[in-house]
Structure 1
Amino acid sequence: MRLSRTIHGFAEALGLALAIFVLSTAANARPATDFRTFVESLWPDAKAAGVSRKTFDAAFAGVEPDYSIPDLDLPGRPKIDNSGQAEFTKTAADYLSAPYLEKLGVQGRAFLKDHEAALKRIEQLTGVDRYTLVAIWGRETAYGSYHPPKDAIRMLATLAYTGKRKERFHDELIAALKMLQMGIPRSDMKSSWAGAVGLTQAMPTEYLQYAIDGDGDGKIDIWRSVADALAFTARQLQGKGWVRGTRWGYEVIAPAHADCSLEGPPDARPIADWVRMGFKPANGKPFTRDELKQEAYLMMPGGAYGPAFLAAQNFRVIRLYNTSDLYALFVGNLSDRIRGGGGFVTPWKDFEQPRTATVHNLQARLQKLGYPMDKIDGKIGSNTRKQIGLYQKATRLKIDCWPSDAVLAAANAQANR
């Protein structure tokens, strides 16, 4: 009995100690400035944007920060945090799942038929082809079955309060308040963790710039009207530089003497130049005269472990819509499938997604060794792959342009000589 009481007492003490530790950790994880003080500091900018005090107070009633979302700059939290972003946590092969793309392609063709009149009208107005619009619709909403669950004001306020990109989200938060002032119901302001709203999930500043009436009913409703949401998306792509009548890009077969260190926008050149270098269309059909004139850059999202693509201007535009090579490639291939095409010709090889810390540390190490890095962010973009390839070529390592612990170890050893 005494032993039982002793154990029970120890468990209670341990539980109390753990509770105190958790509370202490949570308290230390919060920013120094009080959240309500931060909210009140927004009022001058909101007022200058035309937001009334009534709208302002109603928007923030009961709102508290959500410290569980990604991309926050909090004491004790790792600086590199890509959680919740499949574009950065899955391999290209997993993200570009062939069965899932095929499923969405079938659904997309049915959706295209159901909304053909509206899509044709939007295509004529903006120049953005209906296949790309349906592909974005499928990727963002699973053809209407996904509805973002979070409160946009809470998400944007949290990110503006203690996010890694406070200034950007400050502007998005003020834009969201302007939307409320314009009459958007507070209940409609549902979003992803990053504050993107509407059926196709776009940021509030984009709404203020590009939203239009797509169905001709005299209202703009990107939450319930499919035509309004699609027209809004098309206007965004148009505004970012969409070229009417051209493709997003082309899968190609690289010649034996070429490698992935040629990747990236800085090495963009006319497709005719790529052909002279030995690159061939993977589908076997020769490029047209107009296609040969287009400028494109080499893009190899899996390094040497998967297909290669020539990414044209419209690929860049999709990437501006969502800044991820894999997202743009997903939308591009899905649009091809909806148009009647198929999957990639070159299969993916077996390869692993490296830990975010490995990518981050390799970026930092290569930068110190003289290789230019756009960002040290733990994300595998085209420049990261390119610089890894150039490092591997210079040090006579196997050229695969893919971050790994082995490449990091080699770079560390070279730096420590």
Structure 2
Amino acid sequence: MDLALRAFVASLRPRALAEGVRPATFDRETAGLTYDGKVVRLDRAQPGGMPGVSRPGSIDFAPYRRQHVDQAHIVKGQRLYAELAGSLNETQRRTGVPGPIALSIFGHETGYGSFSGNYDLIRSFATLAFDGRRRDLFTAELIATLKLIDRGFSRVELKGSWAGATGYPQFLPSVYLRLGTDGDGDGRADIWTDRADALASIAAYLQEAGWKPNTLWGVAATVPADFDRASVATKLVSPRCPRVHARLSRWLTVGEWKARGITVTGFPAPADGELARLIEPDGPAATAYLLTANYGALLDYNCSNFYGLAAGLLADEIAR
């Protein structure tokens, strides 16, 4: 298996060099590669994306919220918010993304930097590309990792999850190459050890995903017992993770939601003219949320309603 892996990786050399990887870097970093069966098993164990979509309804969010929007996450996020206020304010001025939002994602992805994975990216990407299930993706990320080494990052630094998410923001290497941002002005965008850079890079990601400045991500609301949910069901099918987006209603303005009996209970409330979607993550009679377009940017980072709601709620707590 190891010899076959090395032969496959060697076949990628012309492409890597054509994309700008230095020959010495390619030869040095791919020499002696061995197959990692564990990452292949983990990859094959991922959900396959069943056809069809989910129906709106309860996703039993409350237990997830208690675990991810807990006092430990809140207190540490608030402490970092005070400590990094200068760079966070500058990042918000440049991108429109509030510091608490970037901090919340930092907290969710790596526990504010306490864990970020210990898999060797070169070995993982080489193995996953060789395996072939998502060859195009992992081949591109292998080459992107070699480009990071050419930029001066050591292979020791380039550790991550089994699937190659790396650094405090858990970016794929290609995402870093596109959006890695120097947040503290030292001339280097280091998302592996520099919190200001990591937070600036997270904000750059959300900005690219369409974050709308000076707009909430969402707000808590209550739904009347006699509410006609069928009348607000979406008929759209999202091209990306449709099962997640199917949990959300169609778009109405906040004013239109109010006219239908929805009561905004969170503060501050979005403007009546702001478009929003409704989700009831714990079913009728529990807290619901009206979600703006910025919730979509959170889903772009991690397409899960558990993640999007928890990220927004933790940010709100950090900002208090």
Give the TM interval when normalised to the shorter protein: 0.7 to 0.9
Alignment of 1:177 with 2:146, yes or no, is yes
Residues of 1 paired with 2:290 and 2:313: CA distance? 13
Write out per-residue CA displacement over residues 66-116 of structure 1, whole angstroms, 9 at most, x where no aligned residue. Answer: 22235534xxx797499xxxxxxx953332225852221111111111111
Unaligned runs of 5+ in 1: 1-29, 83-89, 341-417
Per the alignment, residue 102 of structure 1 pairs with 71
User: How many pairs align?
Assistant: 297
Percent of aligned positions with the same letter in both sequences?
34
Q: 1:130 aligns with which of 85, 99, 116?
A: 99
Residues of 2 paired with 1:232 and 1:160: CA distance? 27
| Alignment of structure 1 residues 12-411 onto 2, 5 Å | 34-69=4-39, 72-73=43-44, 80=48, 92-97=61-66, 101-162=70-131, 164-255=133-224, 256-259=226-229, 262=233, 264=246, 267-283=250-266, 287-288=269-270, 291-304=271-284, 307-340=287-320
- Residues 248 and 312, structure 1, Cα contact 8 Å, conserved in 2: yes
Residues of 2 paired with 1:167 and 1:237: CA distance? 25
Write out per-residue CA displacement over residues 152-195 of structure 1, whole angstroms, 9 at most, x where no aligned residue. Answer: 12222233232643322222222112111222211111001220
Decide which structure has greater helix share. Answer: 1
- Residues 133 and 233, structure 1, Cα contact 8 Å, conserved in 2: yes
Write out per-residue CA displacement over residues 299-325 of structure 1, whole angstroms, 9 at most, x where no aligned residue. Answer: 234455853222211110011111222
Q: CA deviation at 1:294?
A: 1.7
RMSD across aligned positions (CA): 2.8
Residues of 2 paired with 1:184 and 1:125: CA distance? 26
Residues of 2 paired with 1:225 and 1:321: CA distance? 20
Q: CA deviation at 1:238?
A: 0.8
Q: CA deviation at 1:143?
A: 2.2
Residues of 1 paired with 2:274 and 2:60: CA distance? 29
Task: Give the structure-1-normalised TM-score.
Answer: 0.65
Q: 1:118/1:322 Cα in 2 relative to 1: closer, same or farther (>3 Å)?
A: same
Partner SS for 2:219: strand
Q: Which of the pair has the greater relative contact order for Cα pairs under 8 Å at 6+ separation?
A: 2
Task: Give the structure-2-normalised TM-score.
Answer: 0.83
Q: Which amino acid aligns with 1:259?
A: R
Q: Which amino acid aligns with 1:262?
A: A
Residues of 1 paired with 2:285 and 2:28: CA distance? 52
- Residues 166 and 172, structure 2, Cα contact 8 Å, conserved in 1: yes
Residues of 1 paired with 2:93 and 2:128: CA distance? 38
Unaligned runs of 5+ in 2: 51-58, 235-245
The higher radius of gyration belongs to 1
